[in-house]
């Protein structure tokens, strides 16, 4: 029986350069804000063409690890912004054909413990910001898009109150994918806005009292209530979320 082997994958030189620079950034040998040598100097050090270095830097810049400051010709080390990371994950999830149901199920798992952690860790400023977000969301006669954005922003405020960056980063892609279904539900279900406002008020009360159990309970009720809204709005939860629906 003959044995066939897979072809050896030869990695482009620019990828090797990007990986070498990225490793220095991730192990903190290159600190945030530190400028890299000029392209010609990097090309000399790596023993490659300048065009190879330029392509490597472009890849690292697109990943958020490098940035070019205004007026500077040299790249500086940076940290990827939370929103940039979330948008990348959101696009990947769309390409993996995630459904509205999958996003809702993920929110039922993630949001209640986030609310619990927020009640435990929130500061006075966190509470003030969250109360303000709830008040803005409860304002009368909001346009649909504004109501959707403010509903999602309330979740973000609760997430930030945990002071846990991992939870915030995990939450954001789901919120971006939640928004398309919220647009439909808020338009089609008259009582949706009142129910959202009521749940947000109760969550705020739990945060104020630092009642972790109550915060978790009300957030769980809040997210579960979305399912009822979807059913009333005749949203097919098995539908895949399209890139066009994610703004």
83-245 is a CATH 1.20.120.530 domain? yes
- What is the domain partition of the chain in residue ranges? 13-77, 83-245
- pLDDT reported for residue 77: 94
Q: What is the mean pLDDT of residues 91-105?
A: 90
- Dump pLDDT digits (tens) for 37-87: 999 999 999 999 999 999 999 999 988 899 998 888 899 999 888 877 888
- pLDDT reported for residue 151: 95
The two tokens of residue 247 are 């703004």
Q: What's the mean pLDDT when you consider all of the chain?
A: 91
User: What is the 3 state secondary structure string of the chain?
Assistant: CCCCCCCCCCCCHHHHHHHHHHHHHHCCCCCCCCECCCHHHHHHHHCCCHHHHHHHHHHHHHCCCEEECCCCCCEEECCCCHHHHHHHHHHHHHHCCCEHHHHHHHHHHHHHHHHHHHHHHCCHHHHHHHHHHHHHHCCCCCCHHHHHHHHHHHHHHHHHCCCCHHHHHHHHHHHHHHHHHHHHHHHHCCCHHHHHHHHHHHHHHHHHHCCHHHHHHHHHHHHHHHHHHHHHCCCCCCCECCHHHCC
Q: pLDDT band at 247, cuts 50/70/90?
A: low
Q: 18-22, 88-92, 107-111: which has the minimum mean pLDDT?
A: 88-92
CATH topology of domain 13-77: Arc Repressor Mutant, subunit A (1.10.10)
- Dump pLDDT digits (tens) for 212-226: 999 999 999 999 999
- pLDDT reported for residue 245: 61
* pTM: predicted TM-score of the whole model, two decimal places: 0.79
- pLDDT reported for residue 137: 93
- Cβ count within 10 A of residue 4: 4
């Amino acid at each position: 029986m003959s044995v066939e082997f897979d072809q050896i994958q030869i990695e482009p030189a620019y990828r090797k350069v990007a990986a070498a620079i990225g490793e220095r950034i991730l192990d903190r040998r290159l600190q945030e804000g530190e400028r890299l040598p000029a392209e010609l100097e990097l090309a000399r050090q790596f023993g490659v063409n300048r065009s190879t270095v330029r392509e490597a830097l472009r890849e690292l810049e697109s990943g958020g690890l490098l940035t070019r400051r205004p007026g500077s010709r040299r790249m500086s080390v940076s940290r990827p912004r939370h929103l940039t990371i979330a948008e990348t994950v959101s696009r990947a999830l769309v390409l993996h054909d995630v459904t509205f149901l999958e996003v809702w199920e993920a929110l039922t798992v993630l949001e209640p413990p986030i609310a619990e952690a927020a009640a435990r860790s929130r500061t006075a400023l966190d509470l003030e910001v969250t109360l303000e977000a709830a008040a803005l969301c409860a304002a009368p006669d909001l346009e649909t898009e504004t109501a959707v954005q403010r509903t999602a922003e309330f979740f973000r405020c609760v997430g930030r109150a945990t002071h846990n960056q991992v939870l915030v980063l995990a939450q954001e892609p789901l919120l971006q994918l939640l928004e398309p279904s919220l647009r439909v539900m808020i338009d089609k279900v008259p009582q949706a806005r009142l129910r959202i406002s009521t749940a947000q008020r109760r969550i705020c009360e739990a945060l104020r009292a630092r009642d972790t159990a109550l915060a978790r309970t009300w957030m769980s009720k809040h997210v579960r209530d979305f399912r009822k809204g979807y059913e009333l709005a005749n949203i097919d939860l098995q539908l895949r979320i399209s890139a066009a629906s994610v703004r």
